[in-house]
Structures are given as structure tokens and as C-alpha cells.
């Protein structure tokens, strides 16, 4: 059955998508917006994305991978943005397993071993 | 710590499910079914009390405030889950291999691991450290494993325990009884003989009195002999039959939940210690070690609750483990100091202690050589809501022959743990009564007494 990817932008779209996949393992990668050339304002996100993508095949069958762009730099820096308030995100990039306390933040996302552990952890 | 010194390390952690099927993640007892959830639930109960006091300080709310067990338990378990995950990440970042598998010795320098799917692997190593801890003891009476729960089950119980009978008078029993009552539940404690064996008995009795006055029922000098299920459910209804410890009297009672807290047994019996010749105390299961945490087999070490004659406390185990590794791989010489280790019991009225109890001091030094200074005190925060004015208590025990050095410190009152920590450091420096007297107090706090 494999896994599938959904790309979303902004908090409401993220929540709607996550809710529609209720019952399946959901992993989400949150990154800063990309410009016209496809480059993010967040340099750590640029480093982390390929590392994470390389490990996606380790996710359990039936998983959903949500790739979520959070917004521009100004939105992210606002301490009251919805991602910080509701999902308790503290930084980008963040890779998490939705509905559990398991997550990797910033430089932790650069490490293939940690990413693999998150995807395969029981 | 060992990975810091570039050693190749393998950690084996496996939780045998409780009789009711409960299990948990990486981190040991303290994190999963001990100190952490206990303190959080104790805090939940304290907050309930604070809500009662709040009205006297001017907060106006008319609704009756109720407690939701599921909300509290979910938050607590969520936090524990983040700790389990944090440890997984930390181990991986330091290149420590972790296996969720049951380890046992099968021969010299060799362990066999079995994971929950039954897959076996063999590993060899230069040195081994055993830190398998303990699990709650059961009574050995009909119905105990089928119907009773232990602290292993309580902190993740998926339903409110309701009317509860706590069997035991250990700190685990009293702390649990304390916060369950604080959350508004009907709680009874069944005690075979004394409260808090090993702790200062003068204080133990004060703790019991306080709990009694605040709604916890005590049945003294009885032991359960049978537990039967009258009604199934979550919770159901259980009938407990108990016999007097002093005679033939039999009593019966009905409860929603029976929590056993009568002691903990070391997990040293089924890990193949006999195959490598590690001596254990056959009666208690504990492992005797020298003052460098080494067993009778030179390449096998042990730390934590399984050690014979050592304190069963998380920070002690952590310190012993760290120092051991530094001695082995970093040329350090410090040994773990087991003297003057402070502790706190988180009963509704908290008790912090460091050093000798009054009985132990009298036995060791002779009654005529010790001087006890004590005082009741009334926390300022308790005055306005008219809470008890003669329950909080502090005492120090001094050795007259040694410059009145403070050898025992005991405080019974709010935030006892926070208060005790600093005094423990002072005692390690050999504080005398005179030095204590010369230290000006902070006002208005409980610690100034």
C-alpha cells in the first residue's frame, strides 16, 4: 500500500488535512515558505528537506506524509502564530508524528538516523 | 556517560507487562510509574486544595469545581511520552544502541536478548552494568493478580479509580492515598502494623494524623486475605475480606479499586545471574556490591534499587552510575557518597528529611549524646484560609559530642522538598547548630524556622 504525500500551506489547511486522515499514521514536516525559485527563507529547512525525503520509505504502510509550509518569515516570528499556539511548535524545520509527543526540531532533522527512528518507532 | 568516553554501549530495556497488561516506554520506574507521575498527581491534588483556599483570598466563583481523572491522566501520560522520546533521541545522538528486549546472562561475558516478538540475539561485552530495578509485590492471596492494581497500573488507569482501598503503609501507599483523597475520592488505607517503616516514627505518626483529619480512613492492624469481584466494570465492585494481624477478627468491605503498595521486589531472579556466578541475597533478591558498585564478578557492576543496603532513590542510582563510569573510563576516583542523602515524601503534608531519624540517632550515638531542637510552625499562606495552625513541624537532631553537628534534619510542611535540598548541602559541609543559628532566616517563609 505504501504511503502518500499531501502538500499544504497554512494552519487551517494543515488541520483539515490531518483530520481527514484520521486513523492513519501521520507524519508532518513544517518548513518556511518557498520563493519563486523554490528556495525557503529558512536555511535549516533547505538542509533538512532532502534528508527527510530520503527516509520516507521507512514510514509504515498506509502512512500520510504532510509537507506543510507555515508562512513567511514575519508570520513565523510572531510568537502568537497558530502553529506555535496550537501545535506548540518551537522552530522550523520540525518533523513530528501527529498525535504523539514524538518530534525532531531544527538540527535534529539533519540526522538521517533520528529521522529513521521517528518513522519506524513503535 | 560511557558513550562520552567513546565506549561502544548497548542498552537493554524491557518492561514485563503487569498482570493487567500494562507496559511503558524507556526511562525506568521513576519516569513512567514513579516519581514523575506521582508528583504531577500530587500537584493536581494540591491545586484542588488551593481552589478551596482561593475563595478566602478573595477569588469569587460559585460553581462547584470537579476533577476529571481522564484529563489529568492524559496530560501526565503525554508528558511521560515526551520524556520516553527524549531519551530515545539522546541515546541515538550519543550513538548508544538501544534494544527494547529482555536481557539475560547465558555465559561469561555473554547476554541473550529476547524482544516482544520472541526474536533472540546474542551479545558479548567487556563489562556489564545491571540496573534492572524492582516491581511491586503482590499479596499472594486469591484474587490479587486478577482484581488488584499496583502503582504500575495507577498512573495510566483509563478510568477513575473511585472508592479505593490502599493496602500498605509505605511512602508509595501514603502518597497515592494522599493524592487520591485530594482529588475527591473516598480512600481507605489498610495497614498491617506501622506507617513508613524506616522513617522517623514521630513524623510518620504526624503524617498519618494529618491524613486522617483530612478524610483518609485508616484500618490499622489488618491484612487482606481474599479479594472477590462482585460486579464487573471500569471500575467494577470488589469485595475485600481481611483478618486482624493480632487475632481472629474478620472484616469485609466493598471498593471500586484495590491498590496494592506493600513493597517492591528486585528483578534479579530471572536474568541468568547464576550462569555467571553473581551472588545475590537469596532472601531479598538484592545484589551486594563493594563501595565501587562492583559485584563479586569483577566485570559485572550494579546500581540502583537492586543494591543491598543502599537507598532506593533515583538520584542515588544516577549519581552512582555516572561516577562509576568516570572511574572506569576517565581516571576519576570519586565514589558515590551514600551518607546524608536528602529525600522527600509527597504525602498531602510533605515531609523532607536528611540524615538520621530520631530513633536511629539515639541508637547510634546514645540518647544522652544527642540534642533535638524542634518547633511547630504555621505557614503564612495558611493563616488567611484558616488552615491547621499546629500541624507543620520541623526538627533537627544534633550530635553533642561533635560540636552539636546537625546529623538529622526533618521538616513537615508545604514544599518540604524545596526546603530540604539546601539544608542537605549544608549538612554535607558539616553544619553545626551554632552555624545554623548564625544564619539569618528569610522572612516570611517556612524555611526560616
Residue of B13, B76, B85, B119 to mutate, interface with A, max A Cβ within 10 Å:
B85
What value of ipTM does the predicted structure carry? 0.79
B221 and B108 in one domain? no
CB contact under 8 A, A101 and B92: no
Contact at CB, B78 and A101, closer than 8 angstroms: yes
CA distance linking residue B415 with residue B425, whole number of Å: 17
Return the minimum-mean-pLDDT range out of B26-30, B39-43, B160-164. B26-30
**Statement to judge: residues B179 and B205 lie in one domain:** yes
Query: Which residues in chain A are closer than 8 Å to B78, comparing Cβ atoms?
Result: 101
Final residue belonging to a domain, choices B229, B263, B297: B263
Q: pLDDT of B331-353, one tens digit each?
A: 888 888 888 899 999 999 999 99
Q: Determine whether the interchain pair B85/A108 forms a contact, defined as Cβ–Cβ distance below 8 Å.
A: no
B232 with B280, same domain: the answer is no
Q: Is A42 a catalytic residue?
A: yes
Q: Percent of chain B scored above 70 by pLDDT?
A: 99
Q: How many CB atoms lie within 10 A of CB A80?
A: 6
Tell me which of B263, B282, B299 is where a domain ends: B263
Residues B278 and B417 in one domain: no
In the residue annotation, B376 being an active-site residue is answered as no
Peptide bond preceding A93 in cis form (omega within 30 of 0): yes
Binding site as annotated, residues of B:
39, 103, 168-175, 263, 305
In a domain, B301, yes or no: yes
Shortest CA distance to B421 belongs to which of B346, B327, B342, B348? Answer: B342
pLDDT of residue A1: 60
Instruction: Indicate if B6 and B129 belong to the same structural domain.
Output: yes
Question: Which residues of B contribute to the annotated binding site for FAD?
Answer: 39, 103
pLDDT value of residue B388:
77
A119–chain B nearest CA distance, Å: 13
- In a domain? residue B337: no
Q: What is the per-residue DSSP string for B132-145?
A: --EEE----STTHH
Q: Tell if the CB–CB gap between B82 and A101 is shorter than 8 Å.
A: yes
B113 and B163 part of one domain? no
User: What whole-number distance in Å separates Cα of residue B104 and Cα of residue B270?
Assistant: 7
d(CA A122, CA B11) in angstroms, rounded, equals 17
Question: What is the predicted pLDDT for the residue at B291?
Answer: 87
DSSP A56-84: GGGSPTT-EEEEEE---HHHHHSTT-HHH
Interface contact flag, B85 A113, Cβ < 8 Å: no
Q: How confident is the model at residue A25 (pLDDT cuts 50, 70, 90)?
A: very high
| Partner B contacted by A95 (CB < 8 A) | no
User: CA of A12 to nearest chain B CA: how many angstroms apart?
Assistant: 24
| Domain end (from B246, B263, B280) | B263
Residue B57 placed within a domain = yes
Angle formed by the axes of helices B35-54 and B171-182, to 10°? 40
Confidence of residue A122 (pLDDT cuts 50, 70, 90): low
Q: What is the mean pLDDT of residues B57-61?
A: 87
Q: Do the domain assignments include residue B335?
A: no
Q: Nearest CA to CA, how far is A120 from chain B (Å)?
A: 12
Residues B375 and B319 in one domain: no
Angle between helices B358-365 and B201-213 (to 10 degrees): 170
Name the average pLDDT for chain B: 90
pLDDT digits (tens, 9 = 90+) for B390-406: 788 999 999 999 888 99
What's the rounded mean pLDDT across residues B392-421? 91
pLDDT at B446 over 80: no
Per the structure, the complete domain to which residue B411 belongs is given by 350-438
Q: What is the pLDDT of residues B75-96, one digit of tens each?
A: 999 999 999 999 999 988 888 8
Same domain, B163 and B75: no
Contact call for residues B261 and B170 (beta carbons, < 8 A):
yes
B189: pLDDT strictly greater than 90 = yes
How confident is the model over B93-125, as pLDDT tens digits? 888 888 899 999 999 999 999 988 889 999 999
Q: Are residues B203 and B254 in the same domain?
A: yes
- Residue in chain B closest to A103 (alpha carbons) equals B85
pLDDT (tens digit per residue) in B216-230: 999 999 999 999 999
pLDDT the model gives residue B443:
74
Q: Are B202 and B174 in contact (CB under 8 A)?
A: no
B131 and B142 fall within a common domain: no
* In the predicted structure, residue B9 carries a pLDDT above the cut 90: no
B321 shares a domain with B389: no
Specify if B291 maps to a domain: yes
Q: What is the pLDDT of residues A46-84, one digit of tens each?
A: 999 999 999 999 999 999 999 999 999 999 999 899 999
Contact across the interface for A113 and B79, Cβ inside 8 Å: no
CA distances from B76 to B35, B71, B129, B139 (A): 12, 9, 30, 28
Residues B14 and B58 in one domain: yes
Of the candidates A121, A113, A122, which has an alpha carbon nearest to the alpha carbon of residue A52?
Answer: A113
Provide, as residue numbers in chain A, all residues whose Cβ is less than 8 Å from the Cβ of B89.
Answer: 104, 108, 114, 117
Residue B85 near residue A102 (C-beta atoms within 8 A): yes
CB A115 within 8 A of CB A104: yes
- Mean pLDDT, residues A90-112 taken together: 92
- Please name each of the domains of chain A with its CATH number: 4-120 (3.40.30.10)
Residue B418 lies in a domain: yes
CA–CA distance, B247 with B249 (Å, rounded to integer): 6
Residue of B nearest to A102 (CA): B85
Please check whether residue B342 lies inside any domain of the structure.
Answer: no
Q: Which CATH number do you get for residue B397?
A: 3.30.390.30
Instruction: Give residue-wise pLDDT tens across range B301-318.
Output: 999 999 988 888 999 999
Q: The CATH number of the domain where B93 resides is what?
A: 3.50.50.60
Residue B181 lies in a domain: yes
- Three-state DSSP class for B187? strand
The label of the residue with cell 581516571 reads B331
Integer Cα distance of B117 and B130 in angstroms: 23
What is the per-residue pLDDT for B380?
80
CB burial string A53-69: b at 16+ within 10 A, e below: eebbeebeeebbbbbbb
The alpha helices in chain A, defined as continuous H runs, are 11-20, 43-55, 73-77, 82-87, 112-120
What total of structural domains would you count in chain B?
A: 3
Residue B162 has pLDDT above 90, yes or no: yes
Q: By CA distance, what is B81's nearest residue in A?
A: A101
Distance from CA of A99 to the nearest CA of B (A): 10
What is the grid cell recorded at B165?
Answer: 482501598
Amino acid at each position: 500500500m505504501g504511503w502518500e504525500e499531501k502538500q499544504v500551506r497554512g494552519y487551517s489547511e494543515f488541520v483539515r488535512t490531518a483530520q481527514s486522515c484520521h486513523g492513519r499514521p501521520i507524519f508532518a514536516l513544517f518548513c518556511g515558505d518557498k520563493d519563486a525559485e523554490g528556495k525557503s527563507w529558512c536555511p535549516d529547512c533547505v538542509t533538512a528537506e532532502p534528508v527527510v525525503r530520503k527516509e520516507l520509505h521507512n514510514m509504515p504502510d498506509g502512512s500520510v506524509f504532510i509537507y506543510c509550509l507555515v508562512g513567511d518569515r514575519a508570520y513565523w516570528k510572531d510568537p502568537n502564530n497558530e502553529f506555535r499556539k496550537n501545535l506548540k511548535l518551537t522552530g522550523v524545520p520540525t518533523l513530528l508524528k501527529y498525535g504523539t509527543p514524538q518530534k525532531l526540531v531544527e538540527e535534529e532533522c539533519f540526522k538521517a538516523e533520528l529521522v529513521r527512528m521517528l518513522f519506524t518507532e513503535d | 556517560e560511557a558513550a562520552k568516553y567513546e565506549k561502544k554501549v548497548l542498552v537493554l530495556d524491557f518492561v514485563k507487562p503487569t498482570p493487567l497488561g500494562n507496559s511503558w516506554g524507556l526511562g525506568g520506574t521513576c519516569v513512567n510509574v514513579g516519581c514523575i507521575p506521582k508528583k504531577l498527581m500530587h500537584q493536581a491534588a494540591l491545586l484542588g486544595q488551593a481552589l478551596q483556599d482561593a475563595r478566602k483570598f478573595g477569588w469569587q466563583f460559585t460553581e462547584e469545581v470537579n476533577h476529571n481523572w481522564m484529563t489529568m491522566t492524559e496530560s501526565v501520560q503525554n508528558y511521560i511520552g515526551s520524556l520516553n522520546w527524549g531519551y530515545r533521541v539522546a541515546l541515538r545522538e550519543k550513538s548508544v544502541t538501544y534494544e527494547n528486549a529482555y536481557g539475560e546472562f547465558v555465559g561469561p561475558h555473554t547476554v541473550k536478548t529476547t524482544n516482544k516478538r520472541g526474536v533472540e540475539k546474542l551479545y558479548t561485552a567487556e563489562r556489564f552494568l545491571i540496573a534492572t530495578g524492582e516491581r511491586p509485590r503482590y499479596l499472594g492471596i486469591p484474587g490479587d493478580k486478577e482484581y488488584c492494581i499496583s502503582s504500575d497500573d495507577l498512573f495510566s488507569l483509563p478510568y477513575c479509580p473511585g472508592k479505593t482501598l490502599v493496602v500498605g503503609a509505605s511512602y508509595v501507599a501514603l502518597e497515592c492515598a494522599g493524592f487520591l483523597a485530594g482529588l475527591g475520592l473516598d480512600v481507605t488505607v489498610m495497614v498491617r502494623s506501622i506507617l513508613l517503616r524506616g522513617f522517623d516514627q514521630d513524623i510518620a505518626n504526624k503524617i498519618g494524623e494529618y491524613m486522617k483529619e483530612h478524610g483518609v480512613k485508616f484500618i490499622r492492624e489488618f491484612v487482606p486475605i481474599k479479594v472477590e469481584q462482585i460486579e464487573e466494570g471500569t471500575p467494577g465492585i470488589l469485595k475485600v475480606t481481611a483478618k486482624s494481624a493480632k487475632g481472629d477478627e474478620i472484616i469485609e468491605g466493598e471498593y471500586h479499586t484495590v491498590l496494592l503498595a506493600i513493597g517492591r521486589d528486585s528483578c534479579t531472579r530471572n536474568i541468568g545471574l547464576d550462569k555467571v556466578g553473581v551472588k545475590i541475597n537469596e532472601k531479598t533478591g538484592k545484589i551486594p556490591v563493594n563501595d565501587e558498585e562492583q559485584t563479586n564478578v569483577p566485570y559485572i557492576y550494579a546500581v540502583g534499587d537492586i543494591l543491598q543496603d543502599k537507598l532506593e532513590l533515583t538520584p542515588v542510582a544516577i549519581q552512582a552510575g555516572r561516577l562509576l563510569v568516570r572511574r572506569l573510563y576517565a581516571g576519576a576516583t570519586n565514589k558515590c557518597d551514600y551518607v546524608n542523602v536528602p529525600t522527600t515524601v509527597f504525602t498531602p503534608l510533605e515531609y523532607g528529611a536528611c540524615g538520621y531519624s530520631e530513633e536511629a540517632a539515639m541508637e547510634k550515638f546514645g540518647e544522652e549524646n544527642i540534642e533535638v531542637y524542634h518547633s511547630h510552625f504555621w505557614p503564612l499562606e495558611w493563616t488567611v484560609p484558616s488552615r491547621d495552625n499546629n500541624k507543620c513541624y520541623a526538627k533537627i537532631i544534633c550530635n553533642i559530642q561533635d560540636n552539636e553537628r546537625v546529623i538529622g534534619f526533618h521538616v513537615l510542611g508545604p514544599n518540604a522538598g524545596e526546603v530540604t535540598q539546601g539544608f542537605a548541602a549544608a549538612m554535607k559541609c558539616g553544619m553545626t547548630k551554632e552555624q545554623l543559628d548564625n544564619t539569618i532566616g528569610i522572612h516570611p517563609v517556612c524555611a526560616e524556622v
